[in-house]
Amino acid sequence: MGKPTGFIEYLRELPLDRTAVERIKDWNEFHLHLSEEKLRDQGARCMDCGIPFCHTGQLISGMASGCPINNLIPEWNDLVYRGLWHEALDRLHKTNNFPEFTGRVCPAPCEGSCVLGMNNPPVTIKNIECSIADKGWDEGWIKAEAPATRTGKKVAVIGSGPAGLCAAAQLNRAGHLVTVFERADRIGGLLMYGIPNMKLDKSLIQRRVEQMSDEGIAFVTKTEVGKNYPADRLMKEFDAIVICTGATKGRDLPIEGRNLKGIHLAMEFLQANTQSLLDKHKNGNFISAEGKDVVVIGGGDTGTDCVGTSMRHGCKSLVQLEILPKPPMNRAKDNPWPEWPKVYKMDYGQEEAAAKFGGDPRVYLTTAKKFVGDDKGRLKEIHTVQIEWTKNDKGQFVPKEVPGTEQVRPAQLVLLAMGFLGPEQQLLEQLNVERDARSNAKAEHGKYTTNIKGVFAAGDARRGQSLVVWAFNEGRGAARECDRYLMGSTDLP
């Protein structure tokens, strides 16, 4: 601990964001950066905790408390305070293969469990993490490091999202010959096509892919295992398989009018937009919100990304429906530290909508009843109703409509961002992988082995929809257990 009184002397300070009115005019990242001097001050706020909950990575009340990949947060905070940036990067890479990703898109459960956060604003852990990684690239410290020896064992990683990339990086580090299969035209999975460019610039992903390729990992795009690459062929050609296909089956809303033109799952909207952006709009093949009344159904990061993307298209109006109540401004009594703080905040998308339209676009305790179209089958309005949560005869909370609260809202574009139901089943069926009650690949956390010998599962395909940082945890863990299976023992963390 570099400065015992740092948490008393310095206030929490984050870098400014580009103004909402300015940033909705382009697709560039909206975060600015703090100076090194200010970053050192922020590192000095890290306390000499007896038990630093920030890197525990425990599940409390079903949500992450602390860092799921057990980042050595107090260590690299101290090193940043001392100006030892290269050493801080080394500490960061011990637990995190891609800190520039989590430093941008992770919701920072570490900060939610920061001990300082019990009675003061927590340490700016996420921003320091991102700054360490960015400095590593700027200084040329991050380079390709191919393994000294090869085992001759061949491993297929199916899916190139956060779990797949971590699994591939770790297995390659162990000396195995790794091939990553991706059905899209670019590597990155959720990181590439599920998260908009202004939140995670795609050049950062490509930079890491090039590094991994230089280290000996083979990437195969436009190849869907189980469809245009038979699963039985994969079993014959590789010594082990790691399934990291994600939970890409979106939750639909089967109400009256669902078949009207203008209603889309969130990922249809987000993926097509990013693909068109990266292709420099050569074909214009994306779903545009320009000039439309947009309704986003569902919250969370995906809903926010739909809001931010619609704002950049130049939508006419925007409403975001939330079926849950508005969170409190401060922690409720049943949400104590070090649980993830379920409190009200406006993310970047809501900030942008508020700047243009005059207020937070979210409408709470509200659900859609039906969609109504014109005589050409195009969506023109959505009928909504307010709900209240009441207990049924089994003691479960269920939504109940509030009479007299029906409302008709104009809408030419509805985006369904209500989460995901699990992985697509075709590959799992072809491999005869057993599923759990939620249709995920059945494999115990920490072991990641499926019922098929040599086949492992990790990330959202195993645990269901979750955070990028949990995908990192699982990708690394599956690589460790896969290495153990292939070699009899493992040195991977």
Confidence of residue 442 (pLDDT cuts 50, 70, 90): very high
388/276 same-domain check: yes
The answer to whether residue 492 is domain-embedded is no
> Which among 463, 459, 461, 465 has a CA at the least distance from the CA of 478?
459
Cα-atom radius of gyration of the chain, to the nearest Å?
23
**What's the rounded Cα separation, in Å, for the pair 119 and 409?**
42
Shared-domain flag, residues 379 and 265: yes
Give the CATH number, domain containing residue 201. 3.50.50.60
Would you say residue 390 lies in a domain? yes
Residues 134 and 195 in one domain: no
Closest CA to 456 of 443, 437, 469, 472: 443
Answer for the pair 390, 191: CB distance below 8 angstroms, yes or no: no
* Average pLDDT estimate for 357-361: 97
Q: What angle do CA 380, 305, 367 make, to 5 degrees?
A: 45
pLDDT digits over 287-320, tens only?
A: 999 999 999 999 899 999 999 999 999 999 999 9
Q: Is the peptide bond before 338 cis (omega within 30 degrees of 0)?
A: yes
Q: Are both 72 and 180 inside the same structural domain?
A: no
CB neighbour list of residue 62: distance below 8 Å, 6 or more residues apart: none
**pLDDT value for 301:** 94
Q: Residue 234 falls within a domain, yes or no?
A: yes
**Would the pLDDT of 263 be above 90?**
yes
Does 493 map to a domain? Answer: no
Q: Is residue 338 part of a domain?
A: yes
- Let me know whether 241 and 224 are in one domain: yes
Q: What is the pLDDT of residues 214-256, one digit of tens each?
A: 999 999 999 999 999 999 999 999 999 999 999 999 999 999 9
Given pLDDT bands bounded at 50, 70 and 90, which one contains residue 438? very high
The answer to whether residues 318 and 412 touch, using CB atoms and an 8 Å cutoff, is no
Q: How far apart are CA 201 and CA 426, in angstroms?
A: 31
CA atoms within 13 A on the CB side of 133: 23
Shared-domain flag, residues 281 and 240: no
- Measuring CA to CA, which residue among 317, 315, 325 is closest to residue 290? 315
Residue whose tokens read 């007299």: 404
Name beta bridge partners: 249. 422
Given this model, what pLDDT does residue 3 score?
87
**Residue 89, number of CB atoms within 10 A of its CB:** 22
Section 182-208 average pLDDT: 97
Q: Rounded to an integer, what distance in angstroms lies between the CA atom of residue 36 and that of residue 105?
A: 22
276 and 384: one domain?
A: yes
For residue 307, the Cα-to-chain-centroid distance in whole angstroms is: 16
What pLDDT was estimated at residue 54? 95
- Amino acid 1: pLDDT: 64
Same domain, 411 and 429: no
Average of pLDDT values for 368-387? 98
Which residue, of 78, 110, 138, is where some domain finishes?
138
Does 296 share its domain with 307?
Answer: yes
Per-residue pLDDT, 328:
97
226: enclosing H helix or E strand = none
- Same domain, yes or no: 305 and 333: yes
- Structural domain harbouring 81: 6-138
Tell me the average pLDDT of the chain: 96
pLDDT at 64: 87
Strands (E), 7-153: 58-60, 63-65
What value does the mean pLDDT take over residues 376-404?
95
Do 409 and 261 share a structural domain? yes
Q: What is the pLDDT of residue 306?
A: 98
- The domain total for the chain is 3
Structure tokens of 4? 């015992």
Quickly state the pLDDT bin for 48 (edges 50, 70, 90): confident
In a domain, 301, yes or no: yes
- Domain presence at residue 149: no
Domain final residue pick, 364, 387, 418: 418
- pLDDT tens-digit readout, 271-289: 999 999 999 876 678 999 9
**Residues 167-194: pLDDT tens digits?**
999 999 999 999 999 999 999 999 999 9
C-beta contacts of 15-20 below 8 A and 24+ residues apart: 15/127, 17/348, 19/355, 20/348, 20/351, 20/352, 20/354, 20/355, 20/356
Q: How do beta strands 379-391 and 366-373 pair?
A: antiparallel
